[in-house]
Structure 1
Amino acid sequence: MVSLQLKPNFLAPDVDEVGSKRDDYVTTSETDSCFVFNANHTLPIIEQRKRLPIYKYRRDILYCLEKNQVLILVGETGSGKSTQLPQGEIGLTQPRRISAITLANRVALERGEAIGDTVGFVVKFLEKRSDATAIKYMTEGILLRELLTDPLLMRYSVIVIDEAHERNLITDIIIGLLKKIVSKRPALKLVISSATIDADDFANFFKANSSIILAVEGRTHPISIFYISNPCADYVNEAVETVWKIHKKEGPGDILVFLTGQEEVLQAVSLTKDYMSSKDDSTLQPVPMYGSLTHREQLKVFFAAEKGLRKVVFATNIAETSITIPGVVYVVDCGFIKIKWFDSDSATDQLVVVPISKATAMQRAGRAGRTRPGKVYRLYTEEDFEKLPDRFPPEIRRCELSAMILNLKALGITNILKFNFPSPPPAKNVLAALETLHALGAIDSDGSLTKPLGYFMAEMPLPPMLSRMLYMSSSMSCSEEILTIIAMLQVETVFAHPATGQGQIKARVAKRHFEVAEGDLITMLNVFTAFVENEQSKQFCRTYYLNYRNLNCAYELREQLVKLTKKHLNIPLKSCQGNVETICKCITSAFFLNAGYLHYTGVYKRIQGGLDLFIHPLSSLYTLPQPQYILFTELVHTTKLYMSNITVIREEWLAELSAHYYCKTSG
């Protein structure tokens, strides 16, 4: 084992440690669901590496790291910065677990090794590594948890923070902590990889340390950008009309259209088909792309269109960074995006549709020039583009902060407001988070973690309310069922939403086999139970229009949660034997802050704050008689403020299970 006091052993540019034997590397359901387009897949691995734009900068990177402690590396998506940098122990963070797993597999393949040898990965509830692992890909949350046991990260010689431009909540926490660590450990090298103009911000943040910026050119082709002359009233209709004009007037090449959500995507696909019918033209192939599509339908995006047809992909922002679709020459940008935003007055995260930023517009435009010169059609005026913000506020300034504060408290940081963040969070958001944690019993009136509940919640890799629910399930003898519900809440929806109208009707009918009057969480429990009873069958999922991959992922997550609770947390696994009331009471004990009641006007009002709320159309309760009292896990803001993942409760449970927060008054 190399001493941690030694300098990191970087590979020289002309050293190639890739073996001649191409070992089969381990894949999981996570990697199976990641789509990677590689135009050079027929070439030997070393030739593929040489074709990446970053390859010719290898000596520059090594020189910058030798002379400076902090390197801010700027490179566009596809330049190779995520796979070619790690080539002594080196820790590399990714914002998404799927990215960490896929990149670890790719680097292991390039080195001619099996995943888990010198190259490994660790993500929430899943890992593949050994004592020999020297290059470790992980999510940012994993690195944050390692800081609990190793505050100076002594096992690492190099830390790489990839995709830092996304400015996730955990990214900003880690960068703030790393600023303290690099000051204490001069031998530690830090690389911050960013695809946009945030590089100056990072350099200023680390100006007290030795830092330098290195820009790596991408491999995009020239792009022509067009704006509409006057604002449009309906960007979905305008997008379809623009697609039709491109199809009739422009040369060969597929079209990618950015919309905000699943409903708009399906509406655009339907309108395009109507256009084709009215014009008696079948030379266009509309394809939807959104997160809850079945795997088979998602794959259609990556297949070339049949001869004589042009493919048009209507997609959500999943197509901005998560995937690369081959053959796209034309991009249509609606100018809006759906993001999560925290409302401190109602103390809830809300999904809202807002105008995009200039950085997002540039990211979308870059999709048109991946393989050859492209064209971008923006459904807003150039004047409106100039009014857009350069970028969105970092997530830390617009999201709920209770999980972040819990982590910082566990790290011994007592005064959150004085912590040096790259972008300080609003004080009112911090106050709302502290009030939430106090109501959940995680911190006391002095702001210190409580024992044992507060420390338990800090140790669990789950949101605070889910951690409390798991803790309470032990005393209420329903931990088996609660573990299942938690696992199901960690994945995307398990109900498939087919693109065709007939398919949607069949899926809705199939869903009724699992729906119950107690609400969505018990419905999820029924789905998972039936999935396991049917031996995790793909045919079962096809029959009932369920997403096999998401269900299988929930099953694996539950297995990991079971191991965690048994091995580390000493929570006995008990079943309530079908007592639904016990499960609903356990849910109430954690989500009592998200309670609502049916007002005499026919709308729901949140007990805390009196906010008007509505049942989401996809909820199992949407077509049932309205219950008097309910809980929700999330709010979605579109035309109205919708509650999702709803559970029906009784009024008396609130005073019984959260007497410190609610009390019933007469009159």
Structure 2
Amino acid sequence: MVNDDISGWAVSGAEHNVQAKLRCLTDGLLKERLLNDDNLITEKTNVKKSVVFFIDEVHERSINIDLCLALFARLLKLKPELKKKMKVIISSATLDSSIPTLYRNITGYFIDKFNLASLSKLDNVTDNDASKEHLLDLVQKLYSIRNRHDQILCFVGSALEAVENCRSLNKITKGAIVAYPLIQSQSAIDQQKFIEQGTVFFSTTVAETSLTFPCLKYVIDTGLINMPVYNLQLERTELREIKAPESTLKQRRGRLGRTQPGEYYALYNDVPNERKKYPVPQICQSELVNVECALRRSRLKTSLKDFQQYLPDKPEKEYVDDALTQLQQLGLMNSFSTASLTNLGASIAKLPDFGSLPMSKAVYAALKQYRCGHDLIVLSSILSVLNTSTILKSIPAKYKRSEGDFMTLLQVMNVILTVRNAVPSQQFNVDHVCNNKGLSAVAHVIKRALQRYKNLDKAFSLSDEFRELARVQSDNWENIAKALLNGFSDKYGINQRRSQNQQQDTLNETAEIAVIDRSSTLRTGNKGALPASLVIARDVRYLTTVRSVSILSFVGQLESSWLEYIFERELQLNEAEEKIKR
């Protein structure tokens, strides 16, 4: 164990011993330091040897990881005097050649490769072709022949598949086999509890590297993953089921052989070279408007077009242009010719990073127009840590608000913050409060949301312009909804059931059909109430299997009078009007 005196850590909203010699940061915080901290490392940095930056899990190729790699490459290229003061260690189970190539192209920078020897001898792993087997049939077969403590891990494409397979297996076996899902939205404590008491698991990519199984004997691999991909033509992110790359299959197989001999069952049967060797970097298939804005608002004052030369893999020009177009549509950037931030863009650039520009616009409107700044800051804190709306099912009915999911989440946060503000900080215990308030099932989410809130609250307390505005609280849904509409104006739906007896909502400005997420407090049938006639959603999720239907997630009820409509019409001028025009 590392001595606590020399080590420290920092995550969003929480930190410990951050002046220690050994500091652990999330990739997101490291990116923010590289973008905005002039003193992270300079020619005046006084060190006996070197500052070592260790970047782990690089094979995941997340946007933050790629940006960190690019920011280090930029730093080394533009400030060669720092080469003697810093070292960058890139750690990865598998590594695409584009990353070492990036650093080899930096003049005068030395690159070396190390293969870490295994600290213990690995047991043998047997490969089995199971392409003609059905997943649940194979699980039952292996379960029947396993030794008492042997564990079975099944990799599937999505969180929904993991949950559904657990339910199906329980139903088929009439409860004889209990399976557990392992998915991203769970807390680390819950995941570890499942692993300690369970035998059969269905998991997404979360179990490829970060979880430890004490008695893993079998891995069953569907060879599939669900990947969010931004569709340029439709201007939306879709969840696509794709074949997992070879490096991912290697990671999954590598879970075996650590505590005993293992058996790997492949439910796929590929032709040679059918799969990609490595995953496509997320920065090459994602919406880039937040990246573009982060670069422009940072101390670098650069654009993605100029910055991409430092990326290991560059996104296509269409993705970069799309980010600029979106900034214009949001009213944050002037025309392509000047590519400068508008007054609104410059004002929003002064705010802390809320993770998305629509939320930043909503918070700014709450601060400046609708006198509900504190409400939006609190609401954004919990929304920023939620990728799915499944948490809503775990919130007791007494906290659910008729206005919808936004006010429900805000009420939960306010209940916790009221206790937090009423007692000395050393006496505040999140777990105890959640247990007393009936919120134990969502305590892991509340902890992360409180960390995020603490970070935002600290940032606003240092702002002369926004400090007082950030303390204004209204708990008025109309004001909060109007602020949200400033950022999410393209994500509202009109319900057609009452007038046309249809079963869906229609998204604004399109003929698309949408349904409200089953987890939503506005889902019809909960209390026999009539469905909302007009709603706003944070997320509009599209299922590629049913392209004509989308799902509205995190939903709030609106009144038509809260919407502002701007119409443009082209009229043919008459002769008199033409003369006036001239």
Same fold by TM-score, threshold 0.5 exceeded? yes
Q: 1:314 to 1:634 in 2, by over 3 A?
A: same
In the aligned structure 2, how far is the partner of 1:216 from the partner of 1:165? 16
Q: 1:198 to 1:295 in 2, by over 3 A?
A: closer
- The residue that corresponds to 2:424 in the other structure is none
CA drift at 1:652: 5.2
CA drift at 1:387: 1.8
Q: 1:124 to 1:508 in 2, by over 3 A?
A: closer
- The residue that corresponds to 1:243 in the other structure is 139
- The residue that corresponds to 2:54 in the other structure is 160
In the aligned structure 2, how far is the partner of 1:315 from the partner of 1:444? 45
- The 3-state SS of whatever aligns with 1:267 is helix
| Counterpart pick for 1:213 among 113, 117, 133 | 113
In the aligned structure 2, how far is the partner of 1:547 from the partner of 1:493? 14
Deviations 1:43-83 (A, max 9, x none): xxxxxxxxxxxxxxxxxxxxxxxxxxxxxxxxxxxxxxxxx
- Contact kept in structure 2, 1:268 and 1:314, CA below 8 Å: yes
* Amino acid in the other structure paired with 1:547: V
* Amino acid in the other structure paired with 1:179: A
Match status 1:227 vs 2:129: yes
Q: 1:433 to 1:610 in 2, by over 3 A?
A: farther
- The residue that corresponds to 2:538 in the other structure is 633
In the aligned structure 2, how far is the partner of 1:432 from the partner of 1:456? 20
Deviations 1:129-154 (A, max 9, x none): 355x3332222332333333428831
Aligned positions of 1:325-344 closer than 5 A: 325-344=213-232
CA drift at 1:486: 0.5
Aligned positions of 1:279-318 closer than 5 A: 282=176, 284-293=177-186, 297-303=190-196, 311-318=199-206
- The residue that corresponds to 1:412 in the other structure is 301
In the aligned structure 2, how far is the partner of 1:426 from the partner of 1:136? 35
Match status 1:522 vs 2:407: yes
| Counterpart pick for 1:621 among 522, 529, 537 | 522
Q: 1:607 to 1:271 in 2, by over 3 A?
A: closer
Q: 1:611 to 1:398 in 2, by over 3 A?
A: farther
In the aligned structure 2, how far is the partner of 1:609 from the partner of 1:524? 29
Q: 1:151 to 1:431 in 2, by over 3 A?
A: farther
Match status 1:198 vs 2:95: yes
Matched residue count: 523
- The 3-state SS of whatever aligns with 2:333 is coil
- Contact kept in structure 2, 1:357 and 1:388, CA below 8 Å: yes
Match status 1:426 vs 2:316: yes
In the aligned structure 2, how far is the partner of 1:608 from the partner of 1:173? 35
Q: Which structure 1 residue ranges, 5 or more long, are not aligned?
A: 1-108, 233-237, 306-310, 498-506, 657-661
* Amino acid in the other structure paired with 2:349: M
Aligned positions of 1:379-394 closer than 5 A: 379-383=267-271, 386-394=273-281
In the aligned structure 2, how far is the partner of 1:525 from the partner of 1:149? 32
Aligned positions of 1:462-477 closer than 5 A: 462=354, 463-475=356-368, 476-477=370-371
Match status 1:607 vs 2:508: yes
In the aligned structure 1, how far is the partner of 2:333 from the partner of 2:216? 51
CA drift at 1:519: 2.4
- Contact kept in structure 2, 1:493 and 1:550, CA below 8 Å: no
CA drift at 1:610: 4.6
- The 3-state SS of whatever aligns with 2:520 is coil
- The residue that corresponds to 2:164 in the other structure is 267
Aligned positions of 1:538-617 closer than 5 A: 538-540=434-436, 543=438, 546-568=441-463, 570-571=465-466, 572=468, 573-598=470-495, 602-607=503-508, 610-617=511-518
- The 3-state SS of whatever aligns with 1:255 is strand
Q: 1:389 to 1:254 in 2, by over 3 A?
A: same
CA drift at 1:586: 0.6
- Contact kept in structure 1, 2:507 and 2:514, CA below 8 Å: yes
Deviations 1:217-241 (A, max 9, x none): 34543322222244x6xxxxx2221
- Contact kept in structure 2, 1:227 and 1:377, CA below 8 Å: yes
- Contact kept in structure 2, 1:320 and 1:363, CA below 8 Å: yes
- The 3-state SS of whatever aligns with 2:522 is coil
In the aligned structure 2, how far is the partner of 1:180 from the partner of 1:508? 46
In the aligned structure 1, how far is the partner of 2:357 from the partner of 2:224? 31
Match status 1:643 vs 2:528: no
- The residue that corresponds to 1:450 in the other structure is 342
Q: 1:452 to 1:272 in 2, by over 3 A?
A: closer
Query: Normalized against structure 1, the TM-score is what?
Result: 0.71
- The 3-state SS of whatever aligns with 1:369 is coil
* Amino acid in the other structure paired with 1:616: D
Deviations 1:488-512 (A, max 9, x none): 1122379877xxxxxxxxx959643
- The residue that corresponds to 1:366 in the other structure is 254
- The 3-state SS of whatever aligns with 1:404 is helix
- Contact kept in structure 1, 2:331 and 2:344, CA below 8 Å: no
- The residue that corresponds to 2:567 in the other structure is 663
In the aligned structure 1, how far is the partner of 2:100 from the partner of 2:92? 14
CA drift at 1:380: 1.6
| Counterpart pick for 1:137 among 24, 39, 60 | 24
CA drift at 1:334: 2.1
Aligned positions of 1:165-184 closer than 5 A: 165-183=59-77, 184=79
- The 3-state SS of whatever aligns with 1:627 is coil
In the aligned structure 1, how far is the partner of 2:339 from the partner of 2:162? 46
In the aligned structure 1, how far is the partner of 2:277 from the partner of 2:16? 39
Identity of aligned residues (%): 20
CA drift at 1:418: 6.4
Match status 1:113 vs 2:22: no
In the aligned structure 1, how far is the partner of 2:63 from the partner of 2:361? 21
Q: 1:175 to 1:293 in 2, by over 3 A?
A: closer
Query: Normalized against structure 2, the TM-score is what?
Result: 0.80
- Contact kept in structure 2, 1:615 and 1:644, CA below 8 Å: yes
In the aligned structure 1, how far is the partner of 2:284 from the partner of 2:560? 35
CA drift at 1:574: 3.9
- Contact kept in structure 1, 2:10 and 2:18, CA below 8 Å: no
Cα RMSD of the aligned pairs, angstroms, is 3.2
- The 3-state SS of whatever aligns with 2:202 is strand
Q: 1:174 to 1:451 in 2, by over 3 A?
A: farther
Q: 1:130 to 1:179 in 2, by over 3 A?
A: closer
Of residues 581-590 and 432-441 in structure 1, the stretch that sits farther from structure 2 once superposed is 432-441
Q: 1:271 to 1:438 in 2, by over 3 A?
A: same
CA drift at 1:532: 4.2
Deviations 1:577-623 (A, max 9, x none): 33210010011111113334346665444435554432211122221
In the aligned structure 2, how far is the partner of 1:380 from the partner of 1:526? 47
- The residue that corresponds to 2:331 in the other structure is 441
In the aligned structure 1, how far is the partner of 2:434 from the partner of 2:400? 20
Aligned positions of 1:8-19 closer than 5 A: none
- Contact kept in structure 2, 1:466 and 1:590, CA below 8 Å: yes
